[in-house]
Amino acid sequence: MGFQEPSGEGVRGIIAFIGIGSNLRDPAVQCRDAFRRIGAIPEIRLLRRSSLYRTEPVGFQDQAWFINAVAEIRTDLPPRKLFEALNEIERKMGRTAGPRWGPRVIDLDLLLYGQEVVAEEDLVIPHPELHRRRFVLEPLCELASYVIHPAFGVSVRGLLDRLTDPGFVERCAAEKIGE
């Protein structure tokens, strides 16, 4: 925790949180690459990143377990532009269309964008599954347990404490993930 990236030095703006996940092609490497790519966008400053977490799949169970993490960023980009930038990173990393909750080389989800609530056809902020998923709340709580969910008025810690998701989530030891 406390990772400082030398990108986006002059960036001002909104604090946002991005969920990162992978279960294909060495998932820990894919997640680290996603952190690097996010931090390389000029309008983004990567402030901190969570630990990597090994998590069991949700929905489609017959697949490899995931590695998940969360990035805390500061950005000058409006929500739509940030969403598009994340989609472009996914595309460049080789993500292709597949089944919902299926295997993927990378998944980048815009979890929170300040205290804004956005409800568009293809963009919903806060992420509509954030409060239901242990694999999101554990790494998010590591970074920002105090952040209030703008639609529910409950802290991330409060959401995690109330969570009924039985999904298995464990923090990866650094030596296990090659850091």
Q: What digits encode the pLDDT tens for the residues 101-132?
A: 789 999 999 999 999 999 999 999 999 999 99
Low-confidence ranges of the chain (pLDDT < 50): 1-6, 175-179
Q: What is the pLDDT of residue 175?
A: 41
Give pTM, 2 decimals.
0.91
Nearest Cα residue to 69 out of 121, 106, 124, 103:
106
Residue 174 is predicted with a pLDDT of 65
pLDDT of residue 89: 98
pLDDT at 101: 79
Amino acid at 129: E
- pLDDT of 177: 41
Q: Do residues 158 and 131 lie in contact, with contact meaning Cβ atoms separated by under 8 Å?
A: no
Domains of the chain are: 14-177 (3.30.70.560)
Given the DSSP bridges, would you call strands 169-171 and 53-55 parallel, antiparallel or unpaired? Answer: antiparallel
Using an 8 Å Cβ cutoff, are 66 and 54 in contact?
Answer: yes
User: 28: closest CA among 4, 52, 2, 3?
Assistant: 52
φ/ψ (deg, to 5) at 119 = -135, 90
129-145 core/surface letters (b: 16 or more CB in 10 A; e: else): bbbebbbbbbbbbbbbe
pLDDT of residue 59: 80
Residues acting as catalytic residues: 95, 104, 107, 109
User: What is the largest distance, in Å, between two alpha-carbon atoms of the chain?
Assistant: 45
Query: For residues 78 and 75, what is the distance between their CA atoms, to the nearest angstrom?
Result: 8
